[in-house]
């Protein structure tokens, strides 16, 4: 991390994170604005952290992949005003597609590490029911005409099929088995109460009339089996491998997090849930988008002086099962290793694009709290147009019994 003028490091810590329950695209949130979802998250973060006065927030960074309509108007600023933050608190928007929320956290953290700010509020929102991926874009024809990228790069499902081609050992059977396990882990996590504490209920207006309360995730399908998934069609290629069952769906939802320096934690009497060790982003062939977490993780580990063996918990976004399997194979990790997505992942929860990176952090923080034997964990994800992002975190509850016990 960066150092201050007197040479002391500005250590970055994750204070808290919350999210709305995720919905199926255009379903329970059909009558709810995207900016109202992120406002709900900002207000909940402030409510849960009363020791942090709103005017101590130095910057708000909110990510959205499709920045038009109710996801436009510089969300970091407009949502901050709508949430009741002082007008003196500035804000801005971020777009790194699926890694938008992750980038909001790392960008604010870089400011903290440099001593430019003390407290940052990061968030991500995606209302895919109102704004389908790709809405309003106009890709430069040079991308295809000059063969800068394979046309498959613009269709995420095709990039996943390409991964199956590149790595024949990543069979559909393995992908379906991983997807079914993700559904089961989410169901188990709900039963044990590991998900609910970080959800902020949202009042929603039903088309049939009347108000309802969204308090749990809508996409999970408890009881899903690999055998049932094997019957699903493959929409991106005849006799392919990628299905609606072994990939994340189209979803609506918002996430948010507070990051600050360890000095502010001490000053205000806050509690840190994670300490940032480092992060990295990397680019890959856009037509093989799903391998992005491999080089970003290698880069982050090298910069931190760590190896994959030091990592005791892995929160990896399940955009597609094959993308996770490619990562696991590369690092020699078993498909069912318990340190990987212990509470399940996006195949069950859903993947509201820019919001998902912070969901990974929220779940890792909760796992750190109950697993003091784990010292380091990572949050990592693939990113559209051929990128990967990885953040390494240290557990402040670590009991010193080992790096990754």
Q: Which residues pair with 123 in a beta bridge?
A: 62, 256
Alpha carbon distance, N-terminus to C-terminus of the chain: 25
| Residue 310 backbone phi and psi in degrees, to 5 | -80, -10
Catalytic residue numbers read 98, 351, 382
Q: What are 328's two structure tokens?
A: 């696991």
- Determine the Cα–Cα distance for residues 67 and 288; give it in Å rounded to an integer: 25
Cα 61 to chain center, whole Å?
15
Q: Count Cβ atoms within 10 A of the Cβ of residue 166 and give its class: 0-12 exposed, 13-18 middle, 19 or more buried.
A: middle
Helix (H, G, I), strand (E, B) or coil at 277: strand
Measured distance CA(127)–CA(23) in Å, rounded: 9
CA angle, 124 as apex, 384 and 30 as ends, to 5°? 95
Residue 206, both tokens: 């039903």
Distance separating alpha carbons of residues 30 and 75, to the nearest angstrom: 20
């Amino acid at each position: 991390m960066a150092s201050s003028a007197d040479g002391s490091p500005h250590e970055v810590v994750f204070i808290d994170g919350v999210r709305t329950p995720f919905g199926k695209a255009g379903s329970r949130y059909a009558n709810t604005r995207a900016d109202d979802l992120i406002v709900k998250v900002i207000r909940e973060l402030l409510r849960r952290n009363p020791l942090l006065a709103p005017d101590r927030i130095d910057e708000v960074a909110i990510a959205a992949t499709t920045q038009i309509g109710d996801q436009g108007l510089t969300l970091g600023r407009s949502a901050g005003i709508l949430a009741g933050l002082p007008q003196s608190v500035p804000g801005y928007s971020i777009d790194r597609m699926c890694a938008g929320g992750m980038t909001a956290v790392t960008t604010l953290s870089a400011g903290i590490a440099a001593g430019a700010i003390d407290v940052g509020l990061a968030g991500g929102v995606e209302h895919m029911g109102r704004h389908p991926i790709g809405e309003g874009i106009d890709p430069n024809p040079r991308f295809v005409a000059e063969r800068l990228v394979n046309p498959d790069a613009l269709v995420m499902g095709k990039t996943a099929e390409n991964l199956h081609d590149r790595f024949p050992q990543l069979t559909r059977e393995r992908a379906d088995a991983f997807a079914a396990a993700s559904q089961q882990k989410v169901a188990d996590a709900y039963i044990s109460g590991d998900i609910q504490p970080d959800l902020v209920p949202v009042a929603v207006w039903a088309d049939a009339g009347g108000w309802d309360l969204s308090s749990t995730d809508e996409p999970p399908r408890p009881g899903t089996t690999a055998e049932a998934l094997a019957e699903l069609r493959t929409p991106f290629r005849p006799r392919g491998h990628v299905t609606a069952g072994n990939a994340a769906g189209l979803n609506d939802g918002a996430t948010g997090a507070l990051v600050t320096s360890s000095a502010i934690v001490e000053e205000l009497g806050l509690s840190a849930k994670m300490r940032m060790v480092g992060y990295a982003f990397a680019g890959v062939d856009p037509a093989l988008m799903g391998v992005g977490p491999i080089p970003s993780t290698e880069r982050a580990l090298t910069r931190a002086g760590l190896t994959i063996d030091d990592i005791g918990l892995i929160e990896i976004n399940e955009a597609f099962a094959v993308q996770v399997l490619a990562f696991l194979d590369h690092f020699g990790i078993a498909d069912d290793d318990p340190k990987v997505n212990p509470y399940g992942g996006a195949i069950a929860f859903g993947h509201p694009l820019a919001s998902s990176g912070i969901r990974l952090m929220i779940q890792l923080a909760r796992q750190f709290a109950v697993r003091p034997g784990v010292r380091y964990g990572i949050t990592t994800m693939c990113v559209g147009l051929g990128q990967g992002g990885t953040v390494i975190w240290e557990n402040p509850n670590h009991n010193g019994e080992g790096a990754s016990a």
